[in-house]
Amino acid sequence: MAQVHLRDVVKKYGAIQVVHGIDLEIQDNEFVVLVGPSGCGKSTTLRMIAGLEDISGGEITIGDRVVNDLPPRHRNISMVFQNYALYPHMTVRENLGFSLKIAKRPQDEIDRAVDEAAGILSLAEYLDRKPGELSGGQRQRVAMGRAIVRHPEVFLFDEPLSNLDAKLRTQMRTEIKKLHQKVKSTIVYVTHDQVEAMTLADRIVIMRDGHIEQVGTPLDVFESPANTFVATFIGSPPMNLLRGRITGDTISLTDGPLISLPPQFASNVADGQDVILGFRADNLMPVGHAMPMEGAYAEFKMTVNLSEPLGTETLLFGALAGKEVQAKMLNPRPLQNGEQLQFQLDLTRCHLFDAQTEQSLR
Amino acid sequence: MNENLQHRIRKYLLKALHFVALFIAMAIICVPGLWVVLNSFRPTVEIMAKPPVWIPNELNLDNYRAMFGAVGEGGVPVLQYFTNSLIVSVTSTLIAILVGMAGGYAFARYSFKGKAGIFIGLMLTRAVPGVSLSLPLFIVMAKTGLIDTHLGLILVYVALNVPFTIWLIDGFFRQVPIDLAEAAEIDGCTRWQAFWKVEFPVARAGVASAGIFAFLTSWNEYALASQLTRSTFSKTMPVGLRDFTSEFTINWGGMCALAVLMIIPALILTFIVQKHLIAGLTFGGVKG
Amino acid sequence: MSRFRPPVWFVLLLPAIIILAAVVLIPLILSFYSSFTPYKLTRPDTLYKWIGTFNYEKAIKSTHFWAAFGRTVLLLTIALNLEMLMGLGLALLVNKVTYGQRALRTIMMFPMMFSPVLVGFQFKFIFNDNVGLVNNALQSLGLTDKAIPWLVDGQLAFIAILTAEMWSATSVFAILILAGLFAVPRDPIEAAKVDGCTPWQSFRHITLPYIMPFIYIALAIRSLDVARAYDIVQIMTNGGPARRTELLWTLIGRTGYIDAKMGYANAMGYISIFLAIFFTVYFFRKLNAARSELGMAG
């Protein structure tokens, strides 16, 4: 049983506070991804769980044990580092078996564990090489192998894929997901890449400036972002955000058209309230070039300044309410720049945020 | 919680131990030097006092005054020695830098047969103990009339410094990317211009620190100088220091004052180059 | 028309080669020759009398020589090892400091600026039986009321010389090893911590292999000028009293200049040169081995 609980965890460097009282409960066998822009405190949080950084306040428990002051070796964790952190003077075999050798396990047990890990990660033919003779992807696999030989209670991943090229990254992402299904352990994974977070996580923790902005399943955070930050951070392209004011049962967009109030927010807003309307490109489509919309929708004209064909769909860049807005077209046809089209906005998939607090009004 | 408390206590204990050990180490490093500086300001009576005087009653500049006086303390012509040291060290450093720069550049930029062998050969000349070298040098210099002259000592110091200067400068030029010179040549420079206008300015700090290192070696050298200089006109300061001990009663205060005079230039120069010096030594050595 | 043009590298190296040949190589050849003659400074004609390996045989049969040789090797071995260990310790202590490290590093370089003569003089003063700091301190603390003859007793003098030598050279090791510690990447150390290493184990298995090349550089640089210890000893005891602290180098100096037996001194000089070259080459080879271990070669 290896739940990880963080209670009001704080990290300060002198007078500078980088993590502001984080609360997080991670279940046994859960795959949790900490995601956020650089400097948001996600790596620091991970390193505090690992015991590589002291905590300045609060409490961390792994299993049933409080581990606040325990050194990493007493925490029964293993970690995969961004730069692999392989021991350059040891062969792959020695790298993999190092932790067991330190723990003074018998040699035959070490050999068995190393062979097993090498099998899982298809490293068998490289066992007698040194890290310097391996490619980036192979080093990454050795780093993961080193983590799994010990069968720890918790795996920690610190941006493990950020040094790989795009193709390898996709491939390793799948391998990590498979690995989790095979080894059945609690995983805490840090990344700044929201695609990685979405594809890997059971639950995503979105962080900014040392605070947790939202915790939820990938679909949760995608479909009901708690605030404008999460709305723009998760999903690609980022959510369109337009300022406006509630007037009766419409939203009057600043320097833009009137749009009827999305029905799901009707009871949550007051007349005259300043709001931010959010919608994704997938929910704004030109009439006649997509499936016709059902339910509540708004219609308006918009000039298309630029289009990016992506194959199955085309991304359109237009201007609405003085801001650049992205839309999608499913049945593509060649477009002229500056062409004006009639658009439909799916109101049931829209989001409303308070203009001051930037929190969701749902 | 008990487990956590244990580890926390251990952490604090280790911290305290670390601090104490550091303090003792620094004290051992500093005390001998400070002891000399302190005694250079104390009158002989107090230095000799039994039981020892720990807190100085009287500090004065008598020793320095005597040192810079007309004939110097006890007839030791300190100023003359200082001038000798300066002439010999500065001249030999300049020559060593020129010679070393040419050699270092050759090692950094050209590949040729037997490069490693020549490099080790040059380094090994530095390994010859000063005393062992001083014997034949003494004979040669006596025959050529170079003994007891500035020129003789300068030549010796150039040879002493060239291997190490080459090592350091080689390291620094290797840090200058070769593309830089190539770019300059494409821009229309000759190889010679490319060196002086592009590569040299980039490696200048390194060359300067190699120079200071050579200066310090010459400034501090004793084994060779003690045999190759005989008279007031060529003796350097390290040799001059012995003048104080040749009498039966040693003038500790005067010696301390001369020691301080010797340290000050070395002190200033070392502080200037400390960063480059370490970088140069380790770069040249580790990156091969 | 084809005039011979030497390669550029050769032209660039030529000044260095000429000066080293003139000041080091030629005198060494001369001294090699004279080591086969009974050359005495006072009688120049003895330079032309060939006596074969007589001087070497004489040295090998001389108890004074072997005593000095043994003492030199002993001093070097103890000094280099202790300096390396203490330098390593000092570097680790300073490396752990986060605040004020620059100042500590500067203090650490302090002994490097002292010329060996100065170190010798300084410790001659400190270990002086009458007015020295050590005896003064011991007496004031009431640990002894005698004047301990630090520089007169053979063993005590050896300790005093060793102290001086270590004071002057430990910081060379510390500085270079510290540079090595800075170059150790943080990740493998943290990986080792997570892998279950105690601080000692992560030092032993990870940090040490990383800084080994730096330790060998320090040893190689130091062994290049171990003979600087001559300056210290010459000032502190000059091999005396009664040869109790005689090292190879002081023996050579005395034989050559005081006794004027140049041929004999040169023969012993050659032995000392080979000793120095042996140490240097040995550490350079170790350096290369440690480098290829880490995959840094090439």
Instruction: Answer for the pair B157, B94: CB distance below 8 angstroms, yes or no.
Output: no
Q: If you average pLDDT over residues C3-30, what whole number do you get? A: 85
As for how many domains chain C has, the answer is 1
- Per-residue pLDDT for B248 more than 60? no
Chain A residues touching residue B4 (CB < 8 angstroms) = 66-70
In this structure, is residue C34 part of a structural domain? no
Interface contact flag, A71 C194, Cβ < 8 Å? no
- Per-residue pLDDT for C1 more than 80? no
Chain A residues touching residue B8 (CB < 8 angstroms) = 69
Task: Note whether B26 and B85 are same-domain residues.
Answer: no
Q: What is the CATH topology of the domain spanning A240-354?
A: OB fold (Dihydrolipoamide Acetyltransferase, E2P) (2.40.50)
> Could you tell me which residues are beta bridge partners of residue A32?
A188, A203
Interface contact flag, C193 A150, Cβ < 8 Å? no
Task: Check residue B245 and give its pLDDT.
Answer: 65
Q: If you average pLDDT over residues B50-59, what whole number do you get? A: 73
Interface contact flag, B5 A68, Cβ < 8 Å? no
As for how many domains chain B has, the answer is 2
Q: What is the pLDDT of residues B169-227, one digit of tens each?
A: 888 888 788 888 788 888 888 888 888 888 888 788 778 878 888 888 898 888 888 88
For residue A50, give how far its alpha carbon lies from the nearest alpha carbon of chain C (Å): 7
- Per-residue pLDDT for C3 more than 70? no
Interface contact flag, B4 A71, Cβ < 8 Å? no
Least confident of A187-196, B46-55, B101-110: B46-55
Chain C residues touching residue B258 (CB < 8 angstroms) = none
Task: Note whether B56 and B113 are same-domain residues.
Answer: no
Task: Note whether B197 and B280 are same-domain residues.
Answer: yes
Task: Check residue B1 and give its pLDDT.
Answer: 57
- C190, C197, C294: residue with CB nearest A89: C294
Task: Note whether B86 and B212 are same-domain residues.
Answer: yes
Candidates C184, C190, C195, C211, partner chain A, best to mutate (most A CBs within 10 A): C195
3-state secondary structure at position A284: strand
Q: Is C187 on the interface with A (CB under 8 A)?
A: yes
Interface contact flag, C34 B139, Cβ < 8 Å? yes
Q: How many beta-carbon contacts under 8 Å exist across A and C?
A: 70
In this structure, is residue C16 part of a structural domain? no
Domain residue ranges of chain A, discontinuous segments joined by +: 4-233, 240-354
Residue B67 tokens read as: 């040192």
- Per-residue pLDDT for C2 more than 70? no
Residue C208 makes CB contacts below 8 A (sequence gap 6+) with: none
**Band of the pLDDT at B41, cuts 50, 70, 90?**
confident
- Between positions 9 and 38 of B, the ones with CB within 8 A of A are 11
Task: Check residue A107 and give its pLDDT.
Answer: 93
**Which residue, B17, B36, B64, sits at the end of a domain?**
B64
**Which residue, B14, B47, B64, sits at the end of a domain?**
B64
Q: Is B286 on the interface with A (CB under 8 A)?
A: no
In this structure, is residue C218 part of a structural domain? yes
Task: Note whether B87 and B30 are same-domain residues.
Answer: no
Task: Check residue C186 and give its pLDDT.
Answer: 87
Task: Note whether B226 and B266 are same-domain residues.
Answer: yes
- As a whole number of angstroms, the distance between CA C159 and CA C157 comes to 5
- Helix-then-strand count for chain C, H and E: 14, 0
Task: Check residue A80 and give its pLDDT.
Answer: 92
Interface contact flag, C16 B259, Cβ < 8 Å? no
Interface contact flag, C194 A79, Cβ < 8 Å? yes
Chain B residues touching residue C168 (CB < 8 angstroms) = none
Task: Give the CATH number of the domain where residue C134 resides.
Answer: 1.10.3720.10
- A66, A71, A74: residue with CB nearest B1: A66
Task: Check residue C153 and give its pLDDT.
Answer: 81
- Per-residue pLDDT for B275 more than 70? no
For residue A186, give how far its alpha carbon lies from the nearest alpha carbon of chain B (Å): 23
How far are the Cα atoms of A193, A226, A312, B279, C289 from residue A170, in angstroms, in the given order?
12, 28, 20, 41, 39
The residue of chain A nearest to residue C292, with distances taken between CA atoms, is A89
Chain A residues touching residue C208 (CB < 8 angstroms) = none
Task: Note whether B180 and B279 are same-domain residues.
Answer: yes
Write down the pTM of the prediction. Answer: 0.81
Q: What is the pLDDT of residues B71-99, one digit of tens each?
A: 544 566 778 888 899 999 999 999 999 99
Instruction: Give all chains having 3 or more CB-to-CB distances under 8 Å with chain C.
Output: A, B
Interface contact flag, C188 A85, Cβ < 8 Å? yes
Q: If you average pLDDT over residues C15-35, what whole number do you get? A: 87
The residue of chain A nearest to residue B10, with distances taken between CA atoms, is A69
In this structure, is residue C278 part of a structural domain? yes
Instruction: Answer for the pair A127, A92: CB distance below 8 angstroms, yes or no.
Output: yes
In this structure, is residue C117 part of a structural domain? yes
SS3 annotation, chain B = CHHHHHHHHHHHHHHHHHHHHHHHHHHHHHHHHHHHHHHHCCCHHHHHCCCCCCCCCCCCCHHHHHHHCCCCHHHCCHHHHHHHHHHHHHHHHHHHHHHHHHHHHHHHHCCCCCHHHHHHHHHHHHHCCHHHHHHHHHHHHHHHCCCCCHHHHHHHHHHHHHHHHHHHHHHHHHHCCHHHHHHHHHCCCCHHHHHHHHHHHHHHHHHHHHHHHHHHHHHHCCCCHHHHCCCCCCCCHHHHHHHHCCCCCCCHHHHHHHHHHHHHHHHHHHHHHHHHHHHHHHHHHHCC
Mean pLDDT of chain C: 83
Task: Note whether B87 and B155 are same-domain residues.
Answer: yes
**Which residue, B64, B81, B107, sits at the end of a domain?**
B64
Residue A6 tokens read as: 């963080």
Residue B138 makes CB contacts below 8 A (sequence gap 6+) with: B147, B227, B228, C256, C257
Interface contact flag, C194 A86, Cβ < 8 Å? no
Task: Note whether B44 and B127 are same-domain residues.
Answer: no
- As a whole number of angstroms, the distance between CA B33 and CA B53 comes to 18
Task: Check residue B287 and give its pLDDT.
Answer: 43
Task: Note whether B53 and B155 are same-domain residues.
Answer: no
DSSP conformation letters of C274-286: HHHHHHHHHHHHH
Task: Note whether B171 and B203 are same-domain residues.
Answer: yes
Range of the domain at B224: 73-286
- As a whole number of angstroms, the distance between CA B137 and CA C186 comes to 51
The residue of chain C nearest to residue B276, with distances taken between CA atoms, is C179
Residue A192 tokens read as: 């700044």
Chain C residues touching residue A78 (CB < 8 angstroms) = 194-195
Instruction: Answer for the pair B155, B240: CB distance below 8 angstroms, yes or no.
Output: no
If we measure between CA atoms, which residue out of A103, A98, A151, A95 comes closest to residue A123? A95
Candidates A81, A104, A148, A159, partner chain C, best to mutate (most C CBs within 10 A): A81
Interface contact flag, B7 A71, Cβ < 8 Å? yes
- C112, C180, C288: residue with CB nearest B270: C112
pLDDT > 90: percent of chain B: 15
Residue B263 makes CB contacts below 8 A (sequence gap 6+) with: B33, C113, C114, C118
Chain B residues touching residue C260 (CB < 8 angstroms) = none
Instruction: Answer for the pair A184, A29: CB distance below 8 angstroms, yes or no.
Output: yes
Lateral strand order in the sheet of A351-354: A258-260, A250-253, A240-247, A274-279, A351-354
- As a whole number of angstroms, the distance between CA A278 and CA B138 comes to 92
Q: Is A70 on the interface with C (CB under 8 A)?
A: no
Please list the pLDDT of chain A residue by residue as tens digits (362 residues): 589 999 999 999 888 999 999 999 999 999 999 999 988 999 999 999 999 999 999 999 998 899 999 999 888 899 999 888 899 889 999 999 999 998 889 999 999 999 999 988 888 899 999 888 898 889 989 999 998 898 888 999 999 888 888 888 888 898 889 888 888 889 999 999 999 999 999 999 999 999 999 999 999 999 999 999 999 999 888 999 999 999 888 888 888 888 888 888 888 888 889 999 999 998 998 887 777 777 788 888 898 888 888 888 889 999 888 889 999 988 777 777 788 888 999 988 899 999 999 999 88
Candidates C98, C99, C194, partner chain A, best to mutate (most A CBs within 10 A): C194
Chain B residues touching residue A68 (CB < 8 angstroms) = 4
Q: Domain spanning A4-233 has what CATH number?
A: 3.40.50.300
Range of the domain at C131: 56-293
Task: Note whether B190 and B157 are same-domain residues.
Answer: yes
- Between positions 24 and 43 of B, the ones with CB within 8 A of C are 25-26, 28-33, 35-36, 39
Q: Is A97 on the interface with C (CB under 8 A)?
A: no
Task: Give the CATH number of the domain where residue B207 resides.
Answer: 1.10.3720.10
In this structure, is residue C40 part of a structural domain? no
Task: Check residue C75 and give its pLDDT.
Answer: 87
Q: What is the pLDDT of residues C58-114, one digit of tens each?
A: 888 888 888 888 888 888 889 889 999 999 999 999 998 888 888 888 888 888 888
Interface contact flag, C193 A52, Cβ < 8 Å? yes
